[in-house]
Homo-oligomer: A and B are copies of this chain.
Amino acid sequence: MFNISIIGLGYVGLPLAIELSRYFKVIGFDLNKNRIKKLKYGIDSNNDVKFKKNHNLNIFFTSNLKDLKKSDTYIITVPTPILKNNNPDLYFLKKAFIDVSNLISKGNLIILESTVYPGLTEKLANLYFSKRKGLKINHDFYLGYSPERINPGDNEKKIKDIKKIIASSDKSSLKKMNIIYSKIIKAGLFKAKNIKIAESAKVIENAQRDINIAFVNELYKIFDNLDIDINDVLEAASTKWNFLNFKPGLVGGHCIGVDPFYLTYLSKQKGYDPKVILSGRKVNDSMHNFIINSSIKKFKSCDLNPKKMKVLLLGFSFKENCSDIRNSKIFNLYSNLKEKINKLDVYDPYVDKNEVLKTYNLKIINTLKKNYYDAIYILLSHKKFKNMGYKKIRSFGKKKCVVYDLKNVFLKGNYSY
């Protein structure tokens, strides 16, 4: 049977490795030695997978590439972030292809799960396997693509419950992919015509979410200008049978706010400027400033002087019920608001405080003082915030305190004063 190596053990690779290890021999590889050490003890610092009890799984964690040598199947699940200029950052991806190129032997199957733009999987295989190593596709090696559809923080839709696309370089390897993935995916597999179609499908899925959130974010801006509460408007509109219930918000993280740039990068290279997608990205990437301006206006209308205010931000990760702090737009909100405010605290019981300090040079506070803040921003609908209840959260504010509830966790509108 298959001897599978997973390259990259983050939000995508770890759950995949665990599921596959129930049926196959699995080697889990990550560059991060500290992460491997913890995983060996059954600790996932992402808090994403509870697998201590399954510690008897057939899975070997390593950060030594040599350990992967015996594998016949390599699944690459490395991050594909963007650079500061929003162009694709292919560092991890290229490194993974180079690493694998030094490992593969005849007949091996290499599958990519990371989000890329159409054509990139084959391009990298051609570059690093064929040109560099002289290996011929569908002869010396086989190439597959199966985009991850993991939904971090979602405890109901786990990997097995989400239909998965598979595509491969030839029929025989597609058959192999089918055997591997059908073991773990209960929701079914979809065989795409070719690798490019599978890459394209993945990259548009998050772009569609992004543009829909951008649309309601733009509405939020329009209606704020008109002194109309966007929440009332969305509530009324959603009584139409085909209205789509998206909510305004900050679009951070490593998927929705990032994937569209992979598509727009390629599109621009090929001569088409994708204005719809890019205008959506622009609106979403500037929402933190809109929220700041809107709330500063509110403070002033409540006779509060920002320069004297103590303010609390509740939530820091990029998404509710999730510890992931990568590309969290709350950091952008924090740094811009900090300049306008006397004292600004951030509280988030989900995130790793040391990681936040290391990554953002920001100290997440440990405890909340009662009767202390002039304003409280509830920025994420973390379950732990919901369980706290509004009364408790409100108690951290002074008698006069503005509460801004971005996600309407407790308030029907966005503000209470």
Q: Chain A residues in contact with chain B, CB under 8 A?
A: 118-119, 149, 157, 162-163, 165, 190, 192-193, 196-198, 200-202, 204-205, 207-209, 211-212, 214-215, 218-219, 221-223, 225-226, 228-229, 232-234, 236-237, 239-244, 263, 266-267, 270-272, 274-277, 279-280, 282-283
Contacts and interface: CB of A to CB of B under 8 A. Distances in A.
A81 to B, nearest CB: 21
Contact of A282 (B202, B219, B275): B275
Q: Which 6 A-B pairs have the closest CB atoms?
A: A201-B236, A201-B237, A275-B279, A200-B233, A190-B239, A279-B279
B198 A240 contact: no
10 contacts: A193-B232, A197-B236, A200-B226, A201-B237, A205-B237, A215-B277, A222-B263, A222-B267, A225-B267, A225-B270
A218 B276 contact: yes
Contacts of A275: 218, 279, 282-283
A240 B149 CA distance: 8
Contacts of A193: 232
Contact of A272 (B163, B221, B241, B274): B221
Query: Which of the listed residues A190, A234, A236, A241 has the most CB atoms from chain B within 10 Å of its own CB?
Result: A236
A165 B236 contact: yes
A379 to B, nearest CB: 22
Given A232-B192, A236-B192, A207 B197 contact: no
A218 B277 contact: yes
Contacts of A198: 236
A397 B15 CA distance: 55
Nearest to A161: B241
Given A157-B241, A204-B237, A243-B205, A228 B283 contact: no
A51 B275 CA distance: 46
A242 to B, nearest CB: 8
Given A163-B241, A207-B215, A208-B212, 14 more contacts: A118-B228, A162-B240, A163-B240, A190-B239, A192-B232, A197-B228, A204-B233, A204-B234, A205-B243, A215-B276, A215-B277, A276-B276, A276-B280, A276-B283
Given A267-B222, A270-B225, A271-B225, A208 B243 contact: yes
A215 B243 CA distance: 16
A115 to B, nearest CB: 13
Contact of A190 (B118, B190, B200, B236): B236
A157 B267 CA distance: 39
Contacts of A149: 240
Contacts of A205: 237, 240, 243
Nearest to A240: B205
A270 B226 contact: yes
Nearest to A214: B276
A357 to B, nearest CB: 35
Nearest to A282: B275
Residue from A165, A201, A234 having most chain B Cβ neighbours under 10 A: A201
Nearest to A209: B242
A232 B190 CA distance: 12
Nearest to A164: B239
Contacts of A267: 222, 225
A158 to B, nearest CB: 13
Nearest to A191: B236
Contacts of A118: 223, 226, 228
Contacts of A244: 208, 212, 244
Contacts of A276: 211, 214-215, 218, 276, 279-280, 283
